[in-house]
Amino acid sequence: MANTITTTYPFTGEVLKKYTLFTDKEIDTSLHKSEEVFLKWKKQSLQNRTRLLQKLADVLNQQKKEYANLITIEMGKPYRESVAEIEKCIRLIDFYEKNAEQFLADELIETEAKESFISYDPLGCILAVMPWNYPFWQVMRFAIPTITAGNTAILKHANNVTGCALAIQDLFEASGYPVGCFQTLLASHKQIEKIIENDIVKAVSLTGSEKAGRTIAEIAGKNLKKTVLELGGNNACIVWEDADLDKYMDTIVKARMQNAGQSCIAAKRFIVVDEIYDNFLEKFKEALKNIKFGAPLDPKTELGTLARIDLVEEVQRQIDESIEKGAIVLVGNRRNNTFFEPTILINVKSGMPAFDEEIFGPVAAIIRAKNRDHAFKLASQSTFGLGIMLFTQNVEEAKKQIDHVEDGTFFINEMIKSDPRLPFGGTKASGYGRELSREGILEFVNKKTVYIK
């Protein structure tokens, strides 16, 4: 087994840095440090913990350009999107600074007792296994509420963003958090299994693939440990015949092409009612021509590369298999190293990878529906349940569909996006549990009933 990690700049293939994986002894030391710090950290007043959030936001803001640059060179995201990612992290921190005390306050319950209430107490050391596509945001939306609630955190990040993983630990320490409150581990998959089994780790949060989620959940389940899983998505973007395409086409295209399509909440299947299908297809195709591809570090670039060559190859496999089963390429399907040209597939049907699987790249499957009901029926034909978006001018009619949506999110006339103020998560093969909002900060606490006669 290789004991090193090598990071590269996806745009050029240039080697950025080599890192050595932690030994089992180093991991054990880190876990014990996390436990030791937790025993002190949980006794800190909530006011003291939230006070550190402001310092954290200040450091993030001061180092915004450096962090954005690091994101871009490690995973190829356009610089402008990397800056936006850091700014979103700052908004997340501000949200919990203002609301954590309210969220974690004892909840009084009226019973026959003299006093009865729910106390929200931290669990201990929480392990996070995180992906590369939003290397700061995915980590921070776990870490901020989890640590503010009084837990300590251990991070296993994706190897190709190891620099970001270490920078996040430095960020917490530079902001005044106790050393050991947030730690990054450079560990192998085999070592992660042992970490989950370790009694010091009380729960696990994973953002990643369905396969990774099943593996982590199985190990955690055998050890009776809670998990929060935010897994893949195959989100449908439904377009009814009355949709205002001139107003929303930029939003619809961005819903697929943002981050070069490398997003679990991206629109992946565009299910368009027959009456508007041809017009939609023409406008979507025209909009793709205006997207500016270039070097990710160029502030004008709107579409960067995919993060690794193996990801490009997987997207190509999914397209090729879909074509073999009858899909037609209308635009794109050309690649150059890690760049994949924005692609439109039509004649896509159930049974093809472009319909059934999550394609993690700039590929839009545009599907014709007979009518509104048929569109929702096609949307529900998925093992995933992360989100559905609907574009229509009849909002009142759209609201009647809420009860018919099984997914974790339903956005009307807007692309799906995570927001610190709203709970985020999925159903079915998209996982379980919620991040963000009040629900997110209560995932890794002991909801303790207190009853005083």
DSSP per-residue string spanning 80-105: HHHHHHHHHHHHHHHHHHHHHHHHHS
Q: What is residue 411's predicted lDDT score, i.e. its pLDDT?
A: 98
Mean pLDDT of 245-260: 98
Residue 288 in domain: yes
Domain shared by 111 and 30, yes or no: yes
Q: What is residue 34's predicted lDDT score, i.e. its pLDDT?
A: 98
Mean pLDDT of 134-160: 98
Q: How many domains does the chain have?
A: 2
Alpha-carbon separation of residue 298 from 116, 163, 335 (angstroms): 58, 20, 20
Domain shared by 252 and 189, yes or no: no
Q: What is residue 57's predicted lDDT score, i.e. its pLDDT?
A: 98
Q: Dump pLDDT digits (tens) for 315-359.
A: 999 999 999 999 999 999 999 999 999 999 999 999 999 999 999
Mean pLDDT of 284-288: 97
Domain shared by 227 and 239, yes or no: no
Domain shared by 223 and 291, yes or no: no
Structure tokens at 286: 């025209």
Alpha-carbon separation of residue 231 from 99, 210, 409 (angstroms): 27, 5, 14
Domain shared by 221 and 248, yes or no: no
Domain shared by 251 and 218, yes or no: no
Q: Dump pLDDT digits (tens) for 414-439.
A: 999 999 999 999 999 999 999 999 99
Structure tokens at 444: 């890794």
Alpha-carbon separation of residue 375 from 121, 236, 311, 367 (angstroms): 45, 9, 30, 9
Lowest-pLDDT choice from 1-5, 261-265, 369-373, 442-446: 1-5
Strand, helix or coil for residue 106: coil
Q: What is residue 248's predicted lDDT score, i.e. its pLDDT?
A: 98
Q: Dump pLDDT digits (tens) for 213-227.
A: 999 999 999 999 999
Q: What is residue 73's predicted lDDT score, i.e. its pLDDT?
A: 98
Residue 132 in domain: yes
Q: Within 10 A of 286 (CB to CB), how many other CB atoms are there?
A: 11
Query: What's the rounded Cα separation, in Å, for the pair 323 and 345?
Result: 9
Structure tokens at 213: 């989620």
Query: What's the rounded Cα separation, in Å, for the pair 423 and 415?
Result: 16
Domain shared by 446 and 346, yes or no: no
Residue 425 in domain: no
Query: What's the rounded Cα separation, in Å, for the pair 321 and 344?
Result: 15
Q: What is residue 247's predicted lDDT score, i.e. its pLDDT?
A: 98
Domain shared by 195 and 273, yes or no: no
Residue 157: closest CA among 190, 206, 204 = 206
Query: What's the rounded Cα separation, in Å, for the pair 339 and 100?
Result: 42
Structure tokens at 336: 């150059």
Spell out where 9-129 has E strands: 15-20, 107-108, 115-122, 125-129
Residue 190 in domain: yes
Which amino acid makes up residue 215? T
Mean pLDDT of 95-114: 98
Query: What's the rounded Cα separation, in Å, for the pair 382 and 376?
Result: 11
Cβ atoms of residues 339 and 311 within 8 Å: no
Question: Would you say residue 1 has pLDDT above 60?
Answer: no
Question: Would you say residue 442 has pLDDT above 70?
Answer: yes
- Which helix (H) or strand (E) covers residue 334, if one does? none
Question: Would you say residue 36 has pLDDT above 80?
Answer: yes
Instruction: Tell me what the pLDDT averaged over the chain comes to.
Output: 97
User: Which CATH number is 285's domain given?
Assistant: 3.40.309.10
Q: Dump pLDDT digits (tens) for 228-248.
A: 999 999 999 999 999 999 999
Domain shared by 209 and 330, yes or no: no
Q: What is residue 71's predicted lDDT score, i.e. its pLDDT?
A: 98
Domain shared by 350 and 203, yes or no: no
Mean pLDDT of 307-312: 98
Give exposure, 72-95, as e/b (b: 16+ Cβ within 10 Å): bbbbbbbbbbbbebbebbbebbeb
Mean pLDDT of 135-159: 98
- Residue range(s) defining the domain that contains residue 64: 4-231+430-452
162-174 helix and 46-62 helix, angle to the nearest 10 degrees: 120
Residue 53 in domain: yes
User: Which CATH number is 23's domain given?
Assistant: 3.40.605.10
Domain shared by 42 and 188, yes or no: yes
Positions marked active-site:
230
Q: What is the pTM of this model?
A: 0.97
Query: What's the rounded Cα separation, in Å, for the pair 170 and 298?
Result: 27
Domain shared by 262 and 243, yes or no: yes
Question: Would you say residue 176 has pLDDT above 80?
Answer: yes
Cβ atoms of residues 309 and 361 within 8 Å: no
Give 2's pLDDT tier (boundaries 50, 70, 90): confident
